[in-house]
Structures are given as C-alpha cells and as structure tokens.
Structure 1
C-alpha cells in the first residue's frame, strides 16, 4: 500500500511516516520497499511493526499515583 494509506492504517500522519522512513535506521520505522521508485508497504509488515513496538505499562493501576 502507498504511504498515504499506510499512515492512515497506522493512525499517524504521512509526515511522521516519512520521517520514520528517512531516519536510516531499519528498526525505527516499518519495513518498506521501493517499486519503480514508489514507496510501498505491506500490511503484514505494518502489523508486525506495531506488535514489535508495543509499549506495555507495568504500573499497577489499582495504586493511586503519589504527588
């Protein structure tokens, strides 16, 4: 899928997706390919990237925060 649809699918802006792609670090943004000069994303790669970058909050939600 094209970056416009990939960004919408991920719930981020197109500019954020472009920045992730251009940071020259393969672990920063989702994997992409270039076909005839066009950037494309595969849905399974986007899903895997979301899973691998999920942040889990281990705080106990029953304990009130201290000031």
Structure 2
C-alpha cells in the first residue's frame, strides 16, 4: 500500500500554459520546443499535453552557466 508522508508533496502534472509560467516562457515557445524536440519531456494524457515538475526542472538545469563569455574557467 502506497502512503504519502507529510514531507512528500502530491505529484501533479502541469498543462502547457502552467509549465510555460513555471519556466518563465510563453506557451508558444513551449509548443515550438515540442515541435522541434528541444524542450522538456512531456506526456499525453487523454489528448492533453502535460509536464511533470521534475522534468521541467531537469530540462531547465541542463544548461546552467557561470560565465557569459565563450570560454570556460575550468580548462
């Protein structure tokens, strides 16, 4: 039997507009990322596109940078 502790928030999927707001992007940008395969992982549930928060966070964290110039300081 699966039980949820008070420390575990309920798992929830976000629709495109909510996911876009979470990432500070427009819904149209999210749609383009889906079209080109460059965006976060998503699921289709009953014909609706939904995103998990962990997938959105993972996608956003893929391109973390510490410097805006073209070279890296750890070389």
Range class of TM-score, shorter chain: 0.7 to 0.9
Find out whether 1:14 has 2:27 as its counterpart. yes
Whole-Å separation in 2 of the counterparts to 1:8 and 1:58: 25
More helix by share: 1
Find out whether 1:4 has 2:14 as its counterpart. no
> TM-score when scaled to structure 2?
0.68
In the TM superposition, residue 57 of structure 1 has moved relative to its aligned partner by 1.5
> TM-score when scaled to structure 1?
0.75
**Gapped runs of 5+ residues in structure 2?**
1-13, 70-75
Structure 1 residue ranges, 4+ long, deviating more than 4 angstroms after superposition: none
**Gapped runs of 5+ residues in structure 1?**
60-67
- The count of corresponding residues between Structure 1 and Structure 2 is 56
| Residue correspondence of structure 1 range 1-67 to structure 2 within 5 A | 1-23=14-36, 25=37, 28-57=38-67, 59=69
More strand by share: 2
Superposed CA RMSD in Å reads 1.4
